[in-house]
């Protein structure tokens, strides 16, 4: 049986700004990764190099501008979470003058990987919330 993680964060920025921080490679690199190829349309590539050792790979399955993204996800060279083995769904909901980001990551193989990815998503969603609100999240402590 596979595992699913759920995470939410409120960001002090409009939906369009948050959407851009999830789909524009230059904006993504302000909060996560070292290089990105992102084609935000169904069938488009999701390729994000975290560092010299880890690259996430998948493809977009759903793109509804400023409201929703879904893409397959996994890691190059990773036996338990290979490319396109999981699904990430991100809903952007207008709330309290900002945007509620609701993330679901399904298809993780076990509790250990769910916990590892939950830690990573918590870290990166915090960094995105700072960057999308106009701040500087600083150097990435997980990207060493």
Q: Which domain holds residue 111?
A: 3-132
CATH number for the domain that contains residue 60: 3.30.530.20
Residue 73 inside a domain? The answer is yes
Would you say residue 144 lies in a domain?
no
Q: At what angle do helices 111-132 and 15-23 cross, to 10 degrees?
A: 120
The pTM of the whole model exceeds 0.85: yes
10-residue stretch averages of pLDDT, the chain, 144 residues long: 94 98 97 96 97 92 98 96 97 97 98 96 97 96 76
Q: Copy the structure tokens of residue 88.
A: 């990430």
Q: Report the domain count for the chain.
A: 1
Question: Which helix or strand (DSSP H or E) is residue 114 part of?
Answer: helix 111-132
Whether residue 15 lies inside any domain: the answer is: yes
* pLDDT confidence of residue 103: 98
pLDDT digits (tens, 9 = 90+) for 113-123: 999 999 999 99
């Amino acid at each position: 049986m596979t595992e699913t993680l759920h995470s939410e964060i409120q960001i002090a920025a409009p939906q369009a700004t948050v959407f851009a921080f999830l789909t524009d490679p230059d904006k993504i690199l302000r909060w996560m990764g070292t290089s990105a190829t992102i084609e935000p349309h169904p069938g488009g590539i999701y390729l994000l190099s975290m560092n010299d050792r880890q690259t996430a790979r998948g493809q977009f399955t759903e793109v509804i501008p400023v409201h929703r993204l879904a893409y397959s996800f996994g890691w190059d060279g990773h036996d338990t979470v290979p490319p396109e083995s999981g699904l990430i769904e991100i809903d952007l909901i207008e709330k309290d003058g900002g945007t509620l980001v609701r993330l679901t990551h399904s298809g993780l193989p076990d509790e250990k990987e769910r916990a590892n990815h939950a830690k990573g998503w918590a870290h990166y969603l915090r960094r995105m919330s700072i960057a999308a609100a106009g701040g500087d999240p600083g150097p990435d402590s997980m990207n060493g």
